[in-house]
Amino acid sequence: MNKLNQYTLDEIIDIPSLQNIQDKFSKMTNMSAITVDKIGTPITKPSNFTRFCNLIRTSKEGYRRCINCDAQGGLKSTQLKKPVIYTCHAGLTDLSAPIIVNDIHFGSMLCGQVVIKGNGNKKLIDLEKLSNELSLPVDELEATLLHVKSLKYNKITASADFLSLCTNSIAKMGVATITHSELLEETKEKMKFQQLAKDAQIKSIQSQLDPHFLFNTLNTIAGMALMENCNQTADLIYSLSDILRYSIKNSKDMVEIGTELENVKKYLFIQTIRYSDKLNYDIKIPDEIFRYKIPAMTLQPIIENAIMHGLEPKKDPGIIKIHGEVLPDKFIQIKITDNGIGMSNEKLNSINNKLSSTSINGGIGIKLVHDRLIYYLGPESGVKIESVPDIGTTVNVKFPLVY
């Protein structure tokens, strides 16, 4: 696919989604993280950067060295096609994993800014030399270095495996975006488009990693967290493992609504931990609905959209409500409502129009949900959005009763 060369990483990956993945990785591993393009230029905001590294980057020469070091780390991991552990120019331990789509390197995800516990690495860092070369006060370098974390080497290697999982998922998202765009250019026929949209969606949630390796890696990290008495971290990782297992196992299937909701609850658990007291949720779905079928991964993308675009920008706590009912015409309606920032009538009309068009500019996740509902359950199924600025947004998901 030579056409891939014309794309940059920020063109094939939604940056807020990429930032979300990076932030979660940083929180789970307790490491700093950033995503860079193939020449080392950051395309995301730093996650949990150390005071030491932030200080070094205030120096023009320090920033130049950091960018060069990031690029070299990305290049080395690309050549090996796997994560690498290396020492940065300032003496800290870093990890790099390449983001490769169809053998083309688009960038890398970097993390670390730690020292290996027991190696005395902090004492080996020549602060006097750094101070002279970067024109930074040695006392400030010494004070900020004290806050750099020390981690056991086996935890760093486990984090490298998890980093590989994240970059693999990012690459699959890029493939899905490009595939969906190109397929839509090839056809305007309704039924053919629906089939192609379905194929693109499936590619976005399938992984080339062996599932046993993927889940064993996650469970290894969770087990380490339990040994370190980090029970909440372990619960987070187990929940993430279950979500990935669900998406891969059921990517081509219709599932019972009850099964879909169990996956949604695990996703919301992760998000409530991430946002602490800023996010709550309320699920009210009658038990009689649980046995009916729905395409797998229908609700989670809508909820993720509500959190990212509706609740995340607001300062006050937010809530997601997921309520369902059986309508008199033997259809099921599930409403996903948030009390977020809402949107203008102009933007709302634009999004609803795109749901029934062949355009992919924005809202691709919701559009794929809409198209899959139509493909599996008929033209009367689909998604419709209602919103009021500063009040919130409701996404109506409607589909017939199917066992």
Residue 26 is encoded by which pair of tokens? 């940083």
pLDDT value of position 242: 76
pLDDT value of position 250: 58
Give Cα separations from 174 to 47, 103, 195, 249 (angstroms): 22, 13, 19, 21
pLDDT value of position 136: 95
What the chain holds in terms of domains, given with CATH numbers, is 2-152 (3.30.450), 276-403 (3.30.565.10)
Give me the tens of pLDDT residue by residue for the chain, a chain 403 residues long.
Answer: 446 667 777 777 778 888 888 888 888 888 899 998 888 788 899 998 999 999 999 999 999 999 888 888 888 888 888 889 999 999 999 999 888 877 788 888 889 999 888 765 677 789 999 999 999 999 999 999 999 988 888 888 888 888 887 787 777 777 666 666 665 555 444 445 455 555 555 454 444 334 544 555 566 666 666 666 667 776 777 777 777 777 666 556 789 999 999 989 988 988 887 787 889 999 999 999 999 999 988 998 899 889 989 999 988 899 999 999 999 989 999 999 999 999 999 999 988 888 876 544 444 578 888 988 988 898 899 999 999 999 999 999 999 999 8
Output 75-78 pairs: Cβ under 8 A, ≥24 positions apart: 77/108, 78/105, 78/108
Residues in CB range of 276: below 8 A, 6 or more apart: none
Predicted TM-score of the model (pTM): 0.49
